[in-house]
């Protein structure tokens, strides 16, 4: 088989890239090791930057997003028993964020894909960036896909990252994890609440008007069995409690999982004809909600670079892809690190460090300049692309 662009991975990054290329008349094939049902139920982030929403709309994948997505103009930082609103739209010239689950984006993009573009249950075994060629197993048969370019959108554990020789790796593990729950209960808030508490961080998010997404800071070695539903709700009520008597609604918990937190970047994001995007190249702690948005920004820029090669014969954007993307990646890495250390409780820290953290929180909510820095990073910057 032959195509112009081989895309490894049918997550949001790979699917969106294939769709952006198709709209420019460029052939692409997506190879995905899992089946369609698995791809459509993988739970991941659900906060979309303004730029991500704009790209999905321009790609023709915005109909259900506009109908069901929850647009937010602000968020709340809560600490010391009091809430402080960060007016995102007022501080960023009207930009917003939208709550819309990654699973729904995947469903929308798969539904838009023509027959044969996505090959599910096609396990990629090897990538040859020089040829370029991808070897994969489908229905027990070894096959090869020859192409001009390869886009590695197959995540941290995929084969693409390993195909970049002599890569530099930068990483940091954090001394805490998130216990995340999906609960069948209407949200207790209209905007996200990021809460700092002596017992640990908590986050109240939304999935829909009927479903809430909530998180608790726990130890990375915490056992899920140690957290029955009632303990989760009790701890959430304690951390979210305010002096004015704010009430947290509770209800049946549908799903729960513990996710360690880490930062990771691999450099470069290109080797020969292989280009990395999304989690294959970088991971951020979820506090800043940058993971999915950064992946969308990657493939939007990559689609423009590939189109420039085929439409105008120029490889300049492809040649500059890695360096340009890494500048954006490190900005997102810093913001995610900053939000994480600002809001989480390091139980090994001394009293001096705790007071510094509280002082920083008070500065962010009392200074327009500091609040603007948070707001413009949170809503995101314009994506580079078509």
Bridge partners, residue 179, by sequence: 216, 258
Residues 127-145, mean pLDDT to the nearest whole number: 97
pLDDT of residue 386: 41
For residue 316, the enclosing domain spans 5-73+98-171+262-347
Q: Quickly list DSSP for 32-50.
A: -SS-HHHHHH-----EE-H
Specify if 15 maps to a domain: yes
> Does residue 322 form part of some domain?
yes
Residue 320 lies in a domain: yes
Q: What is the CATH number of the domain that holds 318?
A: 3.50.50.60
The DSSP element (H or E) to which 363 belongs, if any, is helix 351-366
Q: Cα–Cα distances in Å, from 267 out to 140, 281, 287?
A: 34, 8, 23
Kindly indicate the confidence band of residue 69, based on its pLDDT and cuts at 50, 70 and 90.
very high
- The predicted pLDDT at position 383 comes to 63
My answer on whether omega of the bond before 268 falls inside 30° of 0, hence cis, is: yes
Q: Is 166 within a domain?
A: yes
pLDDT in tens, 183-193: 999 999 999 99
Active site residues: 72, 194, 286, 290, 378
Tens digit of pLDDT for each residue in 314-373?
Answer: 999 999 999 999 999 999 999 999 999 999 999 999 999 999 999 999 999 999 999 999
The average pLDDT across 252-263 equals 95
132, two tokens: 């370029």
CA distance readout (Å), 6 to 201, 290, 326: 41, 25, 22
Please indicate whether residue 382 or residue 57 has the higher confidence score (pLDDT): 57
- Number of structural domains the chain divides into: 1
With respect to residue 181, please indicate whether it lies within any of the assigned structural domains. no
- What count of residues does the chain have? 386
Q: Considering the chain, what percentage of its residues have pLDDT values greater than 90?
A: 94
Question: What's the pTM?
Answer: 0.94
Considering the domain boundaries, does residue 178 fall inside one?
Answer: no
The answer to whether residue 360 is domain-embedded is: no
Structure confidence by residue, pLDDT tens digits, 75-102 = 999 999 999 999 999 999 999 999 999 9
256 part of a folded domain:
no
C-alpha to C-alpha distances, 199 to 78, 238, 343, nearest whole angstrom:
13, 9, 11
């Amino acid at each position: 088989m032959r195509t112009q662009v081989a895309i490894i991975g049918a997550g949001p990054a790979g699917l969106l890239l294939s769709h952006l290329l198709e709209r420019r008349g460029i052939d692409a094939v997506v190879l995905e090791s899992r089946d369609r049902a698995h791809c459509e139920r993988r739970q991941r982030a659900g906060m979309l930057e303004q730029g991500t929403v704009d790209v999905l709309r321009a790609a023709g994948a915005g109909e259900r997003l506009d109908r069901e997505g929850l647009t937010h103009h602000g968020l709340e930082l809560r600490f010391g028993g009091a809430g402080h609103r960060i007016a995102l739209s007022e501080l960023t010239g009207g930009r917003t964020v939208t709550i819309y689950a990654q699973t729904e984006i995947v469903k929308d993009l798969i539904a838009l894909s023509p027959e044969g573009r996505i090959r599910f249950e096609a396990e990629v075994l090897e990538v040859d960036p020089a040829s370029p060629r991808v070897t994969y197993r489908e229905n027990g048969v070894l096959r090869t896909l020859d192409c001009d370019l390869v886009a590695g959108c197959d995540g941290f554990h995929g084969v693409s990252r390993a195909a970049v020789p002599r890569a530099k790796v930068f990483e940091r593990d954090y001394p805490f994890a998130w216990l995340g729950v999906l609960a069948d209960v209407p949200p207790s808030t209209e905007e996200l609440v990021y809460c700092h508490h002596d017992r640990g961080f908590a986050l109240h998010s939304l999935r829909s008007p009927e479903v809430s997404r909530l998180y608790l800071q726990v130890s990375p070695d915490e056992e899920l069995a140690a957290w029955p539903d009632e303990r989760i709700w009790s701890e959430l009520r304690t951390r979210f409690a305010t002096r004015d008597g704010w009430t947290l609604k509770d209800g049946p918990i549908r799903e729960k999982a513990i996710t360690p937190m880490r930062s990771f970047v691999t450099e470069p994001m290109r080797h020969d004809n292989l280009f990395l995007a999304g989690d294959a190249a970088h991971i951020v702690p979820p506090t800043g909600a940058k993971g999915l948005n950064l992946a969308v920004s990657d493939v939007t820029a990559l689609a423009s670079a590939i189109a420039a090669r085929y439409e105008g014969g120029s490889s300049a954007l492809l040649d500059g892809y890695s360096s340009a993307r890494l500048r954006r990646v490190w900005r997102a890495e810093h913001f995610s690190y900053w939000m994480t250390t600002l809001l989480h409780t390091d139980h090994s820290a001394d009293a001096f460090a705790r007071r510094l953290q509280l002082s920083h929180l008070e500065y962010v909510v009392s200074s327009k300049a500091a609040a603007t820095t948070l707001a413009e990073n949170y809503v995101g910057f314009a994506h580079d692309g078509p």
